[in-house]
Structure 1
Amino acid sequence: MGTTGCKKEKSPQVRVAVVDDQNNGIENALVKTSVKGAGDGILNARVLQEGKTDRFGNVTFEFESTVLIDIGLFDNLGNLVDSTSVLAEVKRKQGRSENIYRKKLVFR
């Protein structure tokens, strides 16, 4: 008789890889998350996040609930270099399985 594990809700993580034109990871790149209409109302502060990439060009953002976010890559002057959007949903997963959404931005 087999046993099945209990499925639990897993909050979403969004892992962003920042690369150059040759697909090499870029360290210390500034990445920010936002949502449409962010300036028009009250938002959960945890939706608006920013971080710098690690030595491999990756940065990870964690959210408590399902979010539709815009992700922007910025240069040292604050100019938008590349962007994308993602719907990161809470999912029911078993055991230690992760709920990670992966996106790639290119620094040109």
Structure 2
Amino acid sequence: MAIMIKWFPPSWFQIKTKQKVIYIDPAYLRTYFKNYPKNIEFSRWPEEIDGLPEELEKADLILVTHNHKDHCKRVTVDRLARPDTLIVAPKRCVKALGKEIKIISPGEEIT
């Protein structure tokens, strides 16, 4: 099984296989994307746009590890999620994301 891992500096990843797309801590951070190959203009906080590269696929799974405002941003998660995307995040992200998420606690394992 081939796995493609793409790093979006400084803090998030896209992991792809033939069957799945996973994002870990997706966040827009305009200053880190200024040299992105397509020279896309990204948003600045607090604009209500996601500031992500246009070509990103919808996710099967989105993992949010902490409740910083750049990761628990509803507009970002909405752009990357399909209706059936599983979103796993700490309880402190529930209010900010405003959607159904699977809450995970430190040390907890889910399947």
Q: Which has the larger radius of gyration?
A: 1
More RCO (CA 8 Å, sep 6+): 1
Greater helix percent: which structure?
2
Greater strand percent: which structure?
1
Question: Shorter-normalised TM-score: what interval?
Answer: under 0.3
